[in-house]
Structure 1
Amino acid sequence: MRAPLVLGAALALLAVMAGAFGAHGLRGAVSERSLEVFQTAVSYQMYHAIALVLVTLLSGLALNRRLLGLAAGFFLAGILLFCGSLYVLVLTEIRWAGPITPLGGVCFMVGWAMLVAAAGWQR
């Protein structure tokens, strides 16, 4: 399970870059509220990038790899849908992206539920 590690590390790097862009490049260009929304996206991206790395580390334990893989997939989908839609909202003001955000949040929750299930799975 190297893919979640690579994706997690790359998405963490991108979160740091996005955070720097938000702090320096967007200040004064967008409203304070938009900066808060952008920072929320950056934070959730970092949390779930770290979760992808965690999934890789946990795959070495006697946990259900299928459930870990599902968790990783849902974390990735959450990053794309939740964080991606918030980035689109702030950077383009395209309002149709707003209804996508909760779908990403659900993906995050399902990912964590899969991780709980993987940890509780008895072989």
Structure 2
Amino acid sequence: MNNKKFWIIISAISGFSAVAIGAFGAHGLKEKLTPEMLDVYKTGVLYHLVHTVVLLTLALSEKVKSNLASIFFLTGIILFSFSLYIYSTSGIKFFAMITPFGGVSFLIGWIMIIVSLRRG
């Protein structure tokens, strides 16, 4: 499997899971979570969806040559969004402490796009 196809498949899996998790939160958790925790959950879904679109865009782009941005965005989705999903549904604060590492991963992903384009 070539690299482009791999990242398109990863993007599709990520997009599918973001929509499914978002729908579950909207319909299955609305009455079970406090409004504050539901907002935490929704933040995870938002960042999951946005960065999934970025992953797909990178996979389809001919301009960004490096996979590093994609790797950091995928890591960010896992660390940031999934830690928020788990924290908001379990209340275990340890998972909230993981979230900033995902945020840093997102930031590094954005920087990797700039670096890749500057290198030509």
Contact 1:9–1:50 (CA under 8 A) maintained in structure 2: no
Tell me, in whole angstroms, the C-alpha distance in 2 between the residues paired with 1:96 and 1:36.
18
Whether 1:87 aligns to 2:90 is: no
Aligned-residue Cα RMSD (Å) equals 1.1
- Code of the residue aligned with 2:85 in structure 1: it is Y
Consecutive unaligned residues in structure 2, runs of 5 or more: none
Contact 1:12–1:46 (CA under 8 A) maintained in structure 2: yes
Tell me, in whole angstroms, the C-alpha distance in 1 between the residues paired with 2:6 and 2:92.
32
Query: Which TM-score applies when normalising by structure 1?
Result: 0.90
Q: Map 1:16-35 to 2 at 5 A.
A: 16-35=19-38
- Code of the residue aligned with 1:92 in structure 2: it is S
Q: CA deviation at 1:84?
A: 1.0
Query: Which TM-score applies when normalising by structure 2?
Result: 0.92
Figure out how many residues of one structure are paired with residues of the other and give that number: 117
Aligned residue for 2:32, secondary structure, equals coil
Q: CA deviation at 1:120?
A: 2.1
Deviations 1:9-67 (A, max 9, x none): 11111111111111110011010011111110001000111111111111x34x4x2x2
Deviations 1:50-109 (A, max 9, x none): 111111111x34x4x2x2x00010001000100011011012111111111000000000
- Paired-residue identity, %: 36
